[in-house]
Amino acid sequence: MNVTIDTFSGFCWGVVRTIEIAEHELEESRDLYSLGDIIHNPMEIQRLGAKGLRTITVADLDKAKGGMVLIRAHGEPPSTYKRAEELGITLIDATCPVVTKVQERIRKFYLDGYQVVIFGKKEHAEVIGLIGQTGGEAVVIKSVQEIEKVRLDRKTVLFSQTTMDKPTFYQIKEELQKRIEDLVVGSFEDEAVEFHAKDTICGQVSGRDKKIREFAKSNDIVIFVAGRNSSNGKVLFHIAKEANPRTYFIEDVPELQAEWFEKVENVGITGATSTPQWLMERIKRAIEEKFVPEPAAV
């Protein structure tokens, strides 16, 4: 049995940057809070927790009064920065630069009088930060069916949560173009923003679509490793499973099942942009130790 880790899997550069910032601060001082789970992977949260990182919510922000708080890659709304300043908290801002740019774009269009529509999940941390740029007025939709929430008589700009899927984004764009005369699609092209179809989905996330399909097809089975709360993980898992129905979602070693590996020659391991490399390596070792058959006796 051959067990291979997808070379294109693992942390995106935004997550790498956030983890490096957290580890640097933890080396300087063990008194560091993360505002929400630093990433959507429980194993990595446990690892950093052992180094002293404590997780709190916005509602618990007063517990960190006078202390140091890390803003994770997802970003935060302006209200969080204001509250932190009131509490004398030192913020370590690890917001992914891609997310920061989307926030800036959204704020610009909102101040210019546009209705802001965001393709994303309303409860997702990144989207909460994006909505905050509009004073809570942005319209969030996650499917074509939810377009009915959008006012059709206003000039409108469409943006996306950075980890959503491109096909649905473009379906929504096309439907809005049929119904809204003055529609702009958010772009990173220049300060004026180009008036053409250019989404704000992270290139590192969307670029994995094709590669993960190819990887899934090239293996008999695929072990997909991610935290169950990972939005990106859910998207990539479904892409892998479409390409190879024998794709199995796990968070860690104990979820591996022996029957998955019966009469299997090639096993592929891949994961989300929030899945650490060390965890995939651990799962690879476990598969090789537990499920690779012994050579037949001569």
Catalytic positions, written as ranges? 126
Token couple for 147: 């377009």
CA pair distance 283, 220, nearest whole angstrom: 17
Alpha helices in the chain (DSSP H): 13-28, 42-50, 78-86, 97-111, 125-132, 166-179, 203-206, 208-217, 231-243, 277-290
Token couple for 165: 């899927």
CA angle 9, 13, 16 (to 5 degrees): 90
Q: Identify the H or E element spanning 55.
A: strand 53-56
Per the CB < 8 A criterion, the answer to whether 279 and 225 are in contact is yes
| Amino acid at position 170, single letter | Y
